[in-house]
Structure 1
Amino acid sequence: MGSPSREPTRGRDLKPANVMLDDNGPASSTSASRAPPSSASPTRSPRPGEMGAPPARAKPRVGEGTPPFMSPEQFSSPHEVGPAADIFSLGAVVAYAATGRGPFDSPSPWETATRVVEGAPELDGIPGELRPFAELCLEKHPKSRPTPDELLTLLRDGTRPGPRPAPDEAPGPPTRLDRPRSKRRRRLVIASSAGALLLAVTASAAVVRLTGGGSVRSDLPPGWREWHAAAKASDDAGGAFTSCGATGTSLVCAGDDVKAARFSLATGKHTWSRPVDSTPDDSGSDEGSVLGARAGRVFVYANDETEKTSDNTFTTVAHYSVQSVNATTGQVIWKTRVGDGENALAPDLEDGGARVIPEGVVARVGDNALSYALLDADDGTVRWKRPMPKGQTCAVGSAAHRAYLVCQPDEMNTTSVSALDPATGKPRWTVTAQGALDLLGQDHGRLILAEPTPETPYRAITTVDTTTHRLLRVPLSRTQPADANIHLAHGTLYFTLGNGSVRAVSPRTGHQSWESNSTVEFPGPPLASATHVYIASPSGRLAALDVRTGRVDATRPGRNDAGPTNMADSGAPLVLTGDALYVPYGIRSVYTVDVRHL
């Protein structure tokens, strides 16, 4: 691709297939030409196709590339492609190296391109120390991405660059900085070196093996085998886990008065368990919730209840705290009190009490949850605290790693959604829609909201463009039953019924693409990958449905050791780590399967 002194081409095809491994470690096809020859290398030059050799292809022109690893501007405005496109591609390659899949993967090249331009990247499974790097590189707007110097600082010092204003919030058109050509070339070289360094770190962690052709090995935890295990249960235990999270070598689950319980991802060994209330004679009934998991930690909540007596009346007083726990040892790294009093609300996921974003945990705080605050991810300190809107009932929501405040005014059938500034907590923008809506997530740059009511069938959903803030009512091509549960997973709305029926609906058009009898009764929230949708029952019955057609490709029966589960409840959310699927079931139990061999 040219002599070593030539400036790297803007918008070149940076992808896993163009990352090669030789005696000096990983390198891109451009940086490899600058690498010093190894003393053990043969004297002849490698031929095209050999490891260490540049691929035998012409230099890509501006706007060319491989869709999963191209930047948004390469699709929308190729004439404006600059060095920032390489930063975006680097982020996509890092995500692939860490997880074995691209952050915008889709069976359709058109769908992939749409996800690159509008959708949020799929970054689950990226090690905690690499995730901030990938998130910064994959910012949609070129000017929101870090410069090569900032990337180098992040790699060297672990210091994250300060937030930049989003393009739609800038007071005017962005200012173009015309740097001298020599500095631009130096910074592009730094970016290429930083990319090679980052890939070396990822490769040394044995997350995935990159070859000249971009192939990967089976993605299972080292030493993995199929297992099932149960957490230690007290005499009055009778409930299931409500949520789980995976990080490092640990699967941590919560529920049924369990703050957190740890299982080995590979073997299922149960090493520790902690109650929601650590005080003796616990009379509370908090279920517990894994708010999030990353970098070897899990965020959970505790409630050390007390009782007070007044006029011979006993009153239970809640003392809620959000905690960061070492997933391997169970040690509490930090805890921050968020609610004290008779009317304090649990900082859980189910009721919108707390959400984890890259900066930390956004939670409702105070006796009556009259405020919300951001707890720093590293030490739990309150970075900011703001009052809730008066006369409204509010929940904390999240989508695409950003926090939102979802509020419903008293005696009014409307819902306001506010995007929160992670630096200050102030709303960046607010929109108000008709109906009592729940925030389901984000798809292709649009927030997805629905109005779940036990009496009214689903006839439409509401979307909010996160850039223009435009509200849009999307009618459903088929009315969905009122008693259906609605979930957004991997860009598709899934309506599930207690009899096992599953319907797949596009959140963009409202069109129902398929309906399937999953054979799973009382299914829990669907978990979708690029190829399949997985659902499970409270007893552990599992089904894998083809994501395009709804065809049931595989099933697993429920487990006999599930115990007397309450079939009126739905199954708990599943966890997929590479090819290993973890299924909570029964009384505080989990089992795992290799999804390639269901």
Structure 2
Amino acid sequence: MALRESDPAEVGGYHIEDRLGSGGMGVVYLARSASGRRLAIKVVHGQYADDDEFRARFRREVAAARRVSGAFTAPVVDADADAPRPWMATLYIPGSDLGTHVREHGPLPLPRLRELAAGLAEALRDIHHAGVVHRDLKPANVMLADDGPRVIDFGISRAAEFAASDALTQTGRVMGTPPFMSPEQFASPQDVGPAADIFSLGSVLTYAATRRGPFDSPSPYETALRVVEGEPEVSGVPDELLPLVRLCLEKEQKSRPAADELFTLLREGGLPGKRPVSGNDSPRFPRRTPGARPTEPTVTTWPEAARTEQAAALHRPGKPPTERNEPAPAPAGTPGPETERPRGRRGPLLVSAAVAAVLAAVVTTTVVLTPDEPAPAATPARGDLPDGWKPWATSAKAPPGSERVLGGTDASLKSCAALGDSLVCAGADLMATRFGLADGRNTWSRPVDPTPNGTSGDQGAIIGTVEGRVYAYEADEREDPDGGIPTRYSVEALAAGTGKVLWRTRTGDGVSATVPDSSQGAATAVPEGVVTFFGAQGDEYALLDAGNGEVRWRRPKPDTEGDCMLRSAAGRAYLVCATWPDDRKASRTTVSRIDPATGKARWTVEAKGTLEVLGQHDGRLVLADAFTADRGLTLIDVSSHVLTVRRLAQPRPETASAYLVRGTLYFTRSSGAVRAVSPRTGRTLWETNSSVEQQGPPAASADHVYFASPSGRLAAVNARTGKVEATRPGRDDGGRADSMLATSGAPPVLVGDALYVPYGVRSVYSVDVRDL
């Protein structure tokens, strides 16, 4: 980075050669001593020089860095905290920081992860033995040197023995980088000790293994909430390191091991046992089994491409989106599905105070958040059944004026969702209808069209759910003397338990208005509310506020020769627009992440093909081509926006539907054929015939996948092997004449061990999956 005219020629007698980078607190230069040794000199910005508290912090940073100078840090060579602009010189470490390396090259392979884990455990051991708590261990503060990782930047560290009485942390400030902070740093900063660094180590290792942190969120508020009480997202961490990472991420400080215990564990290659929550007992670390590979690090040179001439303590922006083609993997035999996310444990921590502190914090280091991937709702524990549950089968009554029961069209439900003690479904002229999870009682129903006239009709669909509310749509058709069938469309928020309308917002009125049907990509739900196409022509999209339905913003739909759809994944809304030239092979799709605050695109990535969003997995959007079977998968990293084309080991079956469920991609055909594929590698996990014709989207638990037909036929397939382990015959007892015309209905809904299967004419039955 070129020097500027305002940069000094020397600092403290050291000749300045280059500018390495600049951050919120200062500038870091590359300098050279009289003997020729290269140094990194951190010079504080002038506006902080008159701040006595800042100078005190800088003195402490210098003192802490001197105390821990050694093989695992950047040794301090010289410093002057009393200079007009305070500065500190450390040995220059050529290489990149961990954050930059992972952004540019992807997650570390297992051998590198073992080296990193052992090196950081050893570094923390020495830091803690020196009586220092780092308090800001994060990827940007880990340098990947040739001889192993180095921990840098002790700007907010403190002596462990003075933790409780440290005046500089009693001012209401929360210090650190939220995605890599410990629960106690939010809830009780005065109690922060060495265990906080261990928690941060678990987060850093998760990032290095998956390119995302275990508590990532787009806002400090959400991040604080997840760190304090949420479950860590650790899917993708190799099995060998997963027990160690989980141990580091224990909410209770005393449940985490000390740094020297971690180093012993890594050196001996054992797996950690459960550490007691209280007491001073050391956890037991079983020895590795005979023949197991030890995890003691070996010195390995990092890739030359990873080395950058940059500041050790600064965070460098990521690269712009690029497109990469990756070779097709060799077909696998029958590997198991990808690692499931473990369920965490919640402790009695002060969440509200912690979150409020974050929002009011004056953070002394850059707050770096890796966005996009809030953790999905945890799957209910196996063995759970709703209170009072018993097997049941129930039908919802047809809405008044409906002509659909024997009218030659599909009268099956199209979508269902479980909320509290309710199963709410929609479809077949029903805006929404409620069944009791325990007994199936159909307590209320609302028609899509409140004033039916028999002209046509709308199916109805659940747009989304949130906190006991369900979003659905109303379509009020009216006669038009000039011809056509104008319709007034509205989105409604309903109380799941009672069906009460909490708010109603009109989204379009007229012949050209767009029905806000989520199944057609015209509306989607996010935590902030409902994003839907809007206006008399459907040429805008808008956000309806979750609380009151008010239109928070409106944006014009892009002018394209194709079509646009609204989709959501991991709680984020996306506008997906495809351009369709005469040659389908030349089609292009743009994917834009919608900013919920403004409606503007936070980022846009263009890809080849006519793509549909299947969901999000492992920090990436997963998309498949709707028309070309041999194109494979398109993956978009939601943090770096890097696009990857993932070739499939086997081409997508012709006419197959694609569904992403619990991290596995399923290609299904109406004949009952199913192929399970890993979206991360493109490998085929297994193939089978479920024996379920016209199967729709599956439901999945940790060990089984469930497929159902419109007639209610059910199959339970082993998620690991693909073996069909149980079936139930169809039970379409509605007596309809259109069963041969029925397409796939609503997917089954799994709540613990209770499975709810929509079938027939507005009907649902429930079964305990253990009895299949």
Fold equivalence (TM over 0.5): yes
Partner SS for 1:73: helix
Structure 1: runs of 5 or more not aligned: 1-5, 12-58, 97-101, 117-140, 142-147, 165-173, 179-206, 209-215
Q: 1:223 to 1:106 in 2, by over 3 A?
A: farther
In structure 2, what is the Cα distance between the partners aligned to 1:463 and 1:435? Answer: 13
After superposition, the C-alpha distances for 1:523-543 in whole angstroms (9 at most, x for unaligned) are: 110122221111101111111
Q: Does 1:460 align with 2:629?
A: no
Structure 2 distance, partners of 1:95, 1:584, is 32
Letter in 2 for 1:151: V
Q: Does 1:573 align with 2:742?
A: no
Deviation at 1:94, TM superposition (A): 5.0
Q: How does 1:492-571 map to 2 (within 5 A)?
A: 492-564=664-736, 565-566=739-740, 568-571=742-745
Task: Give how far 1:368 is off.
Answer: 2.1
Instruction: Report how far residue 149 of structure 1 moved.
Output: 11
> What's 1:323 paired with?
492
Instruction: Provide closer, same or farther for how the CA distance between residues 563 and 89 of structure 1 changes in structure 2, counting only shifts above 3 A.
Output: farther
Secondary structure, counterpart of 2:648 in structure 1:
strand
Is 1:350 aligned to residue 519 of structure 2?
yes
Q: Tell me the distance in 2 between the aligned counterparts of 1:485 and 1:510.
A: 16
Structure 1 SS opposite 2:650: strand
Question: What displacement does 1:480 show?
Answer: 2.3
Q: Return the alpha-carbon distance in structure 2 between the equivalents of residues 10 and 520 of structure 1.
A: 55
Distance 2:208 2:689 in 1: 44
User: Which of 438, 446, 456 is matched with 2:620 structurally?
Assistant: 446
Post-superposition offset of 1:108: 7.4
SS across alignment from 2:614: strand
1:297 positional shift: 1.1
Unaligned runs of 5+ in 2: 1-130, 137-192, 217-221, 247-314, 316-347, 368-378, 406-410
Q: TM-score, normalised by structure 1?
A: 0.68
| 1:468-525 Cα distance to aligned partner (Å, 9 max, x none) | 2111111111122221111111111100011111000111111111001111111110
CA-based RMSD of the aligned residues comes to 3.9
Match of 2:480 among 308, 313, 316: 308
- One-letter amino acid of the counterpart of residue 299, structure 1: Y
Q: 1:72 Cα shift?
A: 3.3
How far apart are 1:284 and its partner, in Å?
2.8
Look up the SS of the partner of 2:351 in the other structure: helix
Helix, strand or coil at the partner of 2:486: strand
1:84–1:579 CA distance, 2 compared to 1 (3 A): closer
Matched-pair contact (CA < 8 Å) for 1:115–1:444:
no
Secondary structure in structure 1 of the residue aligned to 2:671: coil
Match of 1:109 among 239, 258, 268: 239
Contact 2:403–2:454 (Cα < 8 Å) also in 1:
no
CA deviation profile, 1:172-207 (whole Å, cap 9, x unmatched): xx96179xxxxxxxxxxxxxxxxxxxxxxxxxxxx9
Residues 108, 176 of structure 1: alpha-carbon distance in 2 compared, 3 angstrom cutoff: closer
Change (3 A) 1:71 1:335: farther
Q: Does 1:226 align with 2:391?
A: yes
Shift of 1:115: 12
Contact map agreement 2:633 2:647 (CA 8 A) in 1: yes
Q: How far apart are the structure 2 equivalents of 1:458 and 1:562?
A: 40
Please give the secondary structure, in 2, of the residue aligned with 1:271. Answer: strand
Give the % identical residues.
Answer: 47
Cα distance in 1 between the residues matched to 2:208 and 2:656: 42
For residue 350 of structure 1, report the CA deviation from its aligned partner: 1.6
The 3 A distance-change label for structure 1 pair 248 and 261 is same
Q: 1:112 to 1:275 in 2, by over 3 A?
A: farther
C-alpha separation in 2, matches of 1:569 and 1:423: 38
* Distance in 1 separating the partners of 2:754 and 2:233: 18
Q: Secondary structure at the match of 1:253?
A: strand
Q: Distance in 2 between matches of 1:163 and 1:541?
A: 55
DSSP-derived class of the 1:571 partner: coil
- Cα distance in 1 for residues equivalent to 2:245 and 2:557: 34
Give 1:201's aligned residue: none
Return the alpha-carbon distance in structure 1 between the equivalents of residues 678 and 615 of structure 2. Answer: 13
Establish whether residue 268 from structure 1 lines up as the match of residue 440 from structure 2.
Answer: yes
User: Which residue identity does 2:545 align to in structure 1?
Assistant: D
Give the Cα–Cα distance (whole angstroms) in 1 for the partners of residues 214 and 757 of structure 2: 43
- The yes-or-no answer on 1:426 pairing with 2:615 is no
Aligned: 1:152 with 2:352: yes
Aligned partners of 2:672 and 2:244: how far apart in 1?
A: 31
Deviation at 1:268, TM superposition (A): 0.2
Work out the CA distance in 2 between the residues paired with 1:573 and 1:399: 18
Instruction: Give 1:406's aligned residue.
Output: 576
Instruction: State which of 315, 335, 341 in structure 1 corresponds to 2:504.
Output: 335
Does structure 2 conserve the Cα–Cα contact (< 8 Å) formed by 1:259 and 1:289? yes
Of stretches 409-418 and 479-488 in structure 1, the one that deviates more from structure 2 is 409-418
The 5-angstrom pairing of residues 273-312 of structure 1 reads 273-310=445-482
Q: Deviations over 1:272-325 (max 9, x none)?
A: 111100014242321000111222211000011112112xxx321011101001
Deviation of 1:390 (Å): 1.7
Cα deviation for residue 429 of structure 1 reads: 0.6
Give the secondary-structure state (helix, strand or coil) at the position aligned to 2:386.
Answer: coil
What's the offset of the Cα at 1:112?
6.5
Aligned counterpart, 1:379: 548
Using the alignment, how far apart are the partners of 2:624 and 2:244 within structure 1? 23
What TM-score do the two structures reach when normalised by structure 2?
0.53
- Note if 1:257 corresponds to 2:429: yes
